[in-house]
Amino acid sequence: MTTGTVRLHRVLRCPPERVYRAFVEPDAYARWLPPHGFTGQVHEMDARVGGRYRMSFRNFSSGNSHSFGGEYLELVPGEKVRYTARFDDPNLPGQMQTTITLKAVSCGTEVTAVQEGIPEMIPTEMCYLGWQESLLHLAQLVEPEIPG
C-alpha cells in the first residue's frame, strides 16, 4: 500500500513553549487543529510518552464526523512532539506518524511538521491544504500577547 508524506514549515511570533502547549493541552488542540469548516473534540489526551489521545473532527456543513487517535512517542517541552495516528474508519487503514520540531529563532519559533504514512486514498494535496489551515489557526491562538 502506497502512503503519502507532507512536510511543512512556518515561523510563529511567540516562544516555543507556547507552541508546545498548544499540542498538549486538550482545549487548545481542539481549537486550532481542525481545518476550516470543521470543529474538533478531544475525547482523551494523556500527553506523556506512551500516553494516548483520541479526538474527532465534525464537518460543520454536513454534520458527518471522523475520529482518530494514537500514541505519544516523544515529547520534549519547547522542542518536539512526535505521535502516531490511526483513523477509526477501516477504509482509511494504516498508521501515520507526525513529528513536530520547534526551534527558537530571533523572531519567535520555527515550526517544522512532517506527517508520514498518510493513507493512499487521501490526496496529499488535501493534507497540505488542511495543515496550512490548521497552522493558520495555531498562529492565531499562540501569537497574541494578551495581558492578564
Mean per-residue pLDDT, 98-112: 98
In a domain, 148, yes or no: no
In Å, what is the CA distance from 17 to each residue of 125, 130, 142? 30, 24, 10
Pull the grid cell for residue 113.
511538521
Contact call for residues 85 and 71 (beta carbons, < 8 A):
no
User: CATH code at 80?
Assistant: 3.30.530.20
In a domain, 11, yes or no: yes
In a domain, 111, yes or no: yes
pLDDT higher than threshold 70 for residue 146: yes
Q: Whole-number mean pLDDT of the chain?
A: 96
In Å, what is the CA distance from 42 to each residue of 56, 71, 81, 83, 95? 7, 14, 17, 15, 19
What is the C-alpha separation between 120 and 19, in angstroms, rounded?
Answer: 30
Predicted TM-score of the model (pTM): 0.95
In a domain, 136, yes or no: yes
- Structural domains of the chain, count: 1
In a domain, 48, yes or no: no
49-96 pLDDT per residue, tens: 999 999 999 999 999 999 999 999 999 999 999 999 999 999 888 999
pLDDT higher than threshold 90 for residue 1: no
Q: Report pLDDT for 66.
A: 95
Domain that holds residue 124: 3-36+75-142
